[in-house]
A = this chain, B = another copy of it.
């Protein structure tokens, strides 16, 4: 909370056990630093909402209330408005998925869907499988329900199916509650699950009787290469999460989930308990916005913007980053992933980076088990290309300072470098 005074907690020891496993998001905690105008943010996954024409959006909001106030201002059904669910049906059809409005529940961003899925599926000790690294908001949402989250490594084609199969074999049939995956432009990895691996993932899910949760916030933000159909297009049992945060605006907090009806029925009960129903005001506004045709141009413009920024980041990394660093080359989305020599601790680097006016997210935030300490997630979605170039340059300076010492060790003939000697 605003003040950083240490406050005596009269209720210490009176909170639920689950709070011991729940931590504040590293990204959220960076917001304060990132809002200083001299600091270049390569940390948060904030869309470039300035590219959404304010008048078009404002007009949608005005019409929502002026023409549909009786509904926009009122409570609504917990499953969300059928009109917006119809819009979602059409949006999903464009990505190759056929669903009906009754297969959809609207949520407060995809984040709420993650929380509700955790709530309906997870008892303490249950196993969840996810990519490693994975979306930290999913780690936060699930961890409230005390599962053991097992991470499967990725390569440039996404989650490795050989490793997934080995894990499933260890766990046995039905041995995990679900497999959580972000197939497109993964957050934070930046890689995309190849088509043949998508088919294999579905096969394994069936063979081991473990449901798949497909989280697809970035699927429509592809810069190059052909569209790859979602997992949900391969199997109706896949639980699919979508969001309006990246194709319209996160400020509306609108997402959705499609799932088999028995799962949706449980989800609705959990949603009633969580917030009664979603915002009809936001839903009608989105209906108005997607009722026009301008959104397609806006989305194309947004995608172009992000592509330019990715290009700027890749070029700057190539130019400034040391040869010891490796990074992914995403074909879309918001993020890329940098791996540094093992002895580097990106938390230490972050403190120095903030002093030089640039932020990123340390890699261990994206693992349930503190792995990834030598990695970082870089967001190219939010800063202008020149700022990205400057940010990467500043970051490279921080790295260079650290690496000099390392190289000196090597030059002096040290066979191996222990972390504690350098950091």
Given contacts A50-B70, A61-B65, A61-B285, contact A111 B274 (CB under 8 A): yes
In A2-17, which residues have CB < 8 Å from any B CB? 2-3, 7-12, 14-17
Find chain B residues with CB under 8 A from A60 CB. 65
Chain B residues, CB < 8 A from A2: 101-102
A126 to chain B, nearest CB (A): 8
Interface: A19 (CB within 8 A): yes
Q: Does A96 contact B (CB under 8 A)?
A: no
- Of chain B, the residue at the smallest CB distance from A104 is B1
A42 to B26, CA, bound (A): 47
The answer for the CA separation of A120 and B11 in the assembled complex, in Å, is: 11
A296 touches B (CB below 8 Å): no
Contact with B along A101-136 (1 / 0, CB 8 A): 111000011011001000111110010000000000
Whether B44 lies near A69 (C-beta < 8 A) is no
Contact B275 A111 (CB under 8 A): yes
A69 pairs with B52, CB closer than 8 A: yes
Which chain B positions have C-beta within 8 A of A278? Answer: 253
Q: Give the interface SS of chain A, mostly helix, strand, loop or mixed.
A: helix
Residues from chain B with Cβ under 8 Å of A79 in the complex: 1
Q: Identify A109's interface contact among B22, B54, B275, CB under 8 A.
A: B275
Which of B64, B76, B269 lies in contact with A23, CB distance below 8 A? B269
- Check: A77 CB closer than 8 A to any chain B CB: yes
CB neighbours of A108 from chain B (8 A): 108, 253, 274-275, 279
Bound-complex Cα distance A285 to B61 (A):
10
| Segment of A255-263, A318-326, A348-356, A411-419 in the binding face | A255-263
Residues of B within 8 A of A279 (CB): 108, 251-253, 279, 282
A123 to B275, CA, bound (A): 20
